Chain A
């Protein structure tokens, strides 16, 4: 059973455009993390949000945790080819939120 559903599954847009990726669950998580994975490599952590309604910004990326801590979104402004990759959300539970359940992933391609 996949607890975290991401949408869209695939997204291909032109450089300079804006986009939003969604991560939804019926479960409540203590924390929500976003990772980016490039071909041939492991996922790399982008951000962690822990409070319902929390918003974090990382340059052109804006992350939001839903008020009920069941969903999250990632918004990219003025996408660049370097943003291309597989974006994964992951819900954390446990003492240090170490037990992560990963989402289905969004494969993003930015066309120059």
Chain B
């Protein structure tokens, strides 16, 4: 399996610009997660989907952030407008959630720098 695929791997953008991060989860997985990692705050869950439906978006920082999952094989995380404090590594992860538990597989991350 190819694993969780994220794009772009690196992006540098100017403050105020729109940023779109993309994710292809592992085929057959029913849950998808977006995390953000910074030195100051560590790894934070932003939002997660189950069967393409957003279950918990309480970690989304503010209205500038939005996430969609139009189908089981694709998700986007959009920041509009971007700000320097959004600079971080954004990870997408997927898993097959069952009552017996699950294993979450992370992508390699999208490194975002907002200048």
Q: Do A and B bind each other?
A: yes
Contact yes or no, A48 B103, CB < 8 A: yes
Chain B positions near chain A (C-beta within 8 angstroms): 4, 31, 33, 35, 42-45, 48, 50, 56, 91, 93, 95, 97-109
Asked whether A99 and B48 contact (CB < 8 A) given A2-B42, A42-B91, A104-B42, the answer is yes
Counting CB contacts under 8 A, is A64 at the interface? no
Contact yes or no, A42 B42, CB < 8 A: no
Grouping DSSP codes into helix (H, G, I), strand (E, B) and loop, the B interface class, with mixed when no group exceeds half, is strand
Asked whether A98 and B31 contact (CB < 8 A) given A40-B108, A41-B109, A42-B108, the answer is yes
Contact yes or no, A96 B101, CB < 8 A: yes
For residue A97, which residues in chain B have a CB less than 8 angstroms away from its CB? 101-102
For residue B56, which residues in chain A have a CB less than 8 angstroms away from its CB? 99
A100 to chain B, nearest CB (A): 7
Total A-B pairs, Cβ < 8 A: 61
Interface residues on A, range: 20 to 34
Contact yes or no, A50 B101, CB < 8 A: yes
For residue B103, which residues in chain A have a CB less than 8 angstroms away from its CB? 45, 48
Could you pull out 11 A-B pairs where Cβ atoms are within 8 angstroms?
Answer: A2-B42, A40-B108, A42-B93, A48-B103, A96-B99, A96-B101, A98-B48, A102-B42, A102-B43, A103-B42, A104-B42
For residue B45, which residues in chain A have a CB less than 8 angstroms away from its CB? 99-102
Please provide the chain A residues from 75 to 112 with a CB less than 8 Å away from any CB of chain B in the complex: 88, 92, 95-105
